[in-house]
Amino acid sequence: MSEPNVPPRGARISPWLVADVGGTNARFALVDGPQGLPAQVESLPTRDYPGLAEAAADYLARHAPGAKPSAACLAVAGPVGNGTFRLTNAGWPEGTPEAVRAHLGLPYLDIINDFEALALALPRLDADDLIPIGGERPNAAASKAGAAKAGAAKAGAPLAVVGPGTGLGVAGLVPTPSGWVPVPGEGGQVDIPAATEREIAVARLLRAEKGAATAEYLLSGAGLVRVHRYLATLDGEPREEPSPRQICERQDDPRCRETLEMFCALLGSLAGNAALTLGARGGVYLGGGILPRIVDVLRGSAFRARFEGKPPVEDYMRAIPTALIVHPGPALVGATVRLAQSLPDLEPA
In a domain, 5, yes or no: no
Identify the domain containing residue 254 by its residue range: 126-326
pTM recorded for the entire structure: 0.86
Domain-embedded: residue 6: no
Given this model, what pLDDT does residue 239 score?
Answer: 76
132 and 72 fall within a common domain: no
Residue 30 and residue 94 share a domain: yes
Do the domain assignments include residue 86? Answer: yes
Q: Is residue 1 part of a domain?
A: no
Which CATH number goes with the domain that contains 244?
3.40.367.20
pLDDT at 90: 80
C-alpha distances in Å from residue 141, one per residue of 8, 125, 138, 153, 293: 33, 8, 8, 10, 26
pLDDT of residue 14: 61
**pLDDT at residue number 186:** 85
We report the CATH number of the domain holding residue 113 as: 3.30.420.40
Of 132, 201, 202, 169, residue with least CA distance to 290: 169
pLDDT of residue 89: 76
Backbone angles phi, psi at 240, to 5 degrees: -65, 145
Question: What are 274-306's pLDDT values in tens digits?
Answer: 999 999 999 999 999 999 999 999 999 999 999
Q: In this structure, are 238 and 187 located in the same domain?
A: yes
20: pLDDT strictly greater than 80? yes
Residue 23 placed within a domain: yes
Clarify whether residues 298 and 276 are in a common domain: yes
| Distance, CA of 144 to CA of 277 (rounded, Å) | 25
The Cα–Cα gap between 7 and 302 comes to 50
Condensed to tens digits (0 to 9), the pLDDT of residues 131-165 reads 999 766 555 443 333 333 333 446 789 999 999 99
Average pLDDT over residues 120-126: 94
* 13, pLDDT greater than 90: no
Residue 292 located in a structural domain: yes
Count of domains observed in the chain = 2
Residues 95 and 64 placed together within one structural domain of the fold: yes
